[in-house]
Amino acid sequence: MEKNYLSREGYEELEEELEDLKGRGRREIAEEIAEARAKGDLSENAEYDAAKEAQGMLEKRIAELENALANARILDEEDIKTDKAYLLSTVTIHNHTVDKEVKYTLVSKDEANFKENKISVDSPIGKAILGSEIDDIVEVEVPAGTLKLEVKNIER
Alpha carbon separation from 135 to 51, 72, 75 (Å, rounded)? 53, 32, 26
Evaluated on CA atoms 143, 145, 148, 152, the torsion sign reads negative
Q: Evaluate if pTM is beyond 0.85.
A: no
pLDDT at 149: 92
In the CATH hierarchy, which fold is given to the domain comprising 77-155? Chitinase A; domain 3 (3.10.50)
Residues 54-87: tens digit of each pLDDT? 999 999 999 999 998 898 888 776 666 678 888 8
Q: How many CB atoms lie within 10 A of CB 56?
A: 11
pLDDT at 31: 93
Residues 95-122: tens digit of each pLDDT? 988 899 999 999 988 888 989 999 998 8
Predicted confidence band at 93 (pLDDT cuts at 50, 70, 90)? Answer: very high
> For the domain with range 4-74, which CATH number is right: 3.40.50.300, 1.10.287.180, 3.30.2290.10, 3.30.1020.10?
1.10.287.180
